[in-house]
Structure 1
């Protein structure tokens, strides 16, 4: 049940983020849920591998490479999915920042308890 709630909340975060960031368009809430799942899967698979390969550089840049990898995963999902479109790197970077802020706000409101 917790997983379903997290998926729905992440879909809401993507939907709100797409409405706030210029250069990002999304068809609807259902598309936002699918985009959120695909972004999470891309970050968990391809993003994880890239983070391992770029660890020394990521360490030296204090996590900037990790942020760029997250932006690239958003661009990847935008390219493979219809109904979710991001106009370039800077729109994806701004979307990644907005998603992180909104997710942190939701986490603070809901209270993330570690079981």
Structure 2
């Protein structure tokens, strides 16, 4: 259930970035197709965040430390671009035009995801409540 809620939160965050930035495009004939596309893109984005992002962060750790964490924004932009590339390969109809759009999109997705995830139930708190 929690993973489904996170998927929906990511899809909503990607939808906000798509709506706010002209450099991120979403194609589809109907609203249902657009929603389905955003859900699949959110799934791809989540998998890349779980698998690729830690590798990027590990190999660029000195740069992340040197920039006091600001390089993580570049990594997030790269994940957005990679998501766009995979989406293009799968012919999903979601595309990011260039690095700067990806950087601003990653910022928007991060902020929206943070806000939405603040309202999701915390698994650790639920476990503690059952114990105590």
**TM-score, length of structure 1 as denominator length:** 0.88
Structure 1 runs of 4+ off > 2 angstroms? 111-114
State whether residues 9 and 117 of structure 2, in contact with CA within 8 Å, keep that contact through their aligned partners in structure 1. Answer: no
**Deviation of residue 112 (structure 1)?**
4.9
Give the distance between the partners of 1:62 and 1:42, measured in 2 at CA: 23
Give the equivalent residue in structure 1 for 2:4: 4
Report how many aligned residue pairs link the two structures. 114
RMSD: 1.5
Bigger drift between 63-72 and 85-94 goes to 63-72
Q: Tell me which residue corresponds to 1:106.
A: 116
Change (3 A) 1:111 1:31: closer
Structure 1, unmatched stretches of 5+, are none
Corresponding residue for residue 18 of structure 2: 18
- The gaps in structure 2 that reach 5 residues or longer are 28-33, 125-132
- Which entry has the higher C-alpha Rg, 1 or 2? 2
**Shift in CA distance, 2/43, structure 1 to aligned 2, threshold 3 Å:** closer
Question: Residue in 1 aligned with 2:37?
Answer: 31
Give the C-alpha shift of residue 113 in structure 1.
2.6
